[in-house]
Structure 1
Amino acid sequence: MPTIVALSGSPSATSRTAALTDHAADLLRADGHSVRSARARDLPADALLSADARHPAIADLLAAITSADGVLVASPVYKAAYSGVLKTLLDLLPQYALAGKTVLPVLTGGTQAHVLAVDYALRPVLSALGAHHVVPGWFVLDRHIRTEGGAVVLAEEAERPLREVVAGFSAALHARAGPLTG
């Protein structure tokens, strides 16, 4: 069973990006993956800002990323790029931390003007970190994400394409893992 780290790079405590990341993680679990969810905002700020990769919380997440088969990287778009807290975390990863991994980039934002940030801002960094395969990602408008009773509800125009990119990511992971046995 492929293992995945689902990483939310939002600094907000009430983050639609984090809710969307959790929703995608649930879809992946339903497809037979072992998924560890992580939020960059929950890491100790002093350790992040001082680049202390030996801090236990950061070292634990870095080890999980290193040992995972795939990584879902989600972030809100700020100033036409992914969040600073995600950038700070990605800067702590070893040079080829994503080598041999399949990666799914997902961004959220307030307007369609930021849709290209997936490909011009996030994808190059993931590739530079050695990702084996960065599958087609997705951009979701903030207004298409809401929570009801603790559950994430996406507008239809966001749910269907998100399910498609998550299914493509899942299929790529299953293909790399090879045929299932016993």
Structure 2
Amino acid sequence: MPSIVALAGSPSVDSRTVALLRHIASHTHDVDVVPIRALPAEALLGADVDDPAVSEVVKKVADADALIVASPVYKAAYSGVLKTFLDLLPPAALAGKTVLPILTGGAPVHALALDYALRPVLTALGARHVLTGLFLIDKQIERTPDGVVLAPDLQARIDAAVAEL
């Protein structure tokens, strides 16, 4: 069975992105959710790939068959936390991998960030195939003490995207 690493690029402690990825992982086998914000800030900002926590995640990415890369939209792009992590990956880190990008935002206009901000970086890192991806309105993802409650149509969209992955 293929292994999937899900990179959660939210800087928020109470993150819909992490909760959403954990929800996806609970319905999908072999998904390892990695909240990038949990990595040491100094190591991320200094691009210290020798830091044990950072090198462990870089190895997980290298060993994965596929990736889910998720982030809230900030200033018409994915988060700086995610950008910082992606910048420290080697140039061909995603070579041969299929990637499902997921962005959440406050309005449908932010969906453009999938194609204009995130997809080019994933392609530049050598992803074999970047799927169409998902843009989800953040109000359709309600955080609960047990995870998330999704708007009725969201689960079917998520299931279809993960099945394609």
State the TM-score bracket (shorter-chain normalisation): over 0.9
Partner residue of 2:6?
Answer: 6
Please tell me whether residue 42 in structure 1 is matched to residue 38 in structure 2: yes
User: In angstroms, what is the RMSD of aligned CA positions?
Assistant: 1.0
Partner residue of 2:28?
Answer: 28
Structure 2 counterpart of 1:102, from 98, 102, 106: 98
Matches within 5 A, 1:77-88: 77-88=73-84
Q: CA deviation at 1:26?
A: 2.1
Partner residue of 1:63?
Answer: 59
Q: Which moved more, 1:17-26 or 1:85-94?
A: 17-26
Structure 2 counterpart of 1:122, from 115, 118, 123: 118
Structure 1-normalised TM-score? 0.88
Please tell me whether residue 153 in structure 1 is matched to residue 149 in structure 2: yes
The structure whose Rg is larger is 1
Q: CA deviation at 1:147?
A: 2.7
Structure 2 counterpart of 1:164, from 155, 160, 164: 160
Q: Which moved more, 1:38-47 or 1:159-168?
A: 159-168
Structure 2-normalised TM-score? 0.96
Q: Please tell me the residue identity of whatever aligns with 1:122.
A: L
**3-state SS in 2 of match to 1:10:** coil
| Equivalent residue pairs, number | 165
Q: Please tell me the residue identity of whatever aligns with 1:7.
A: L
Q: Deviations over 1:102-133 (max 9, x none)?
A: 10000001111101111111011001100011
Separation (CA, whole Å) in 2 of partners of 1:17 and 1:45 = 19
Separation (CA, whole Å) in 1 of partners of 2:8 and 2:45 = 17
Q: CA deviation at 1:20?
A: 1.0
Q: CA deviation at 1:92?
A: 0.5
Q: CA deviation at 1:17?
A: 1.1
CA contact (8 A) 1:27 1:166 kept: no
Please tell me whether residue 75 in structure 1 is matched to residue 81 in structure 2: no
Separation (CA, whole Å) in 2 of partners of 1:79 and 1:124 = 17
**3-state SS in 2 of match to 1:115:** helix
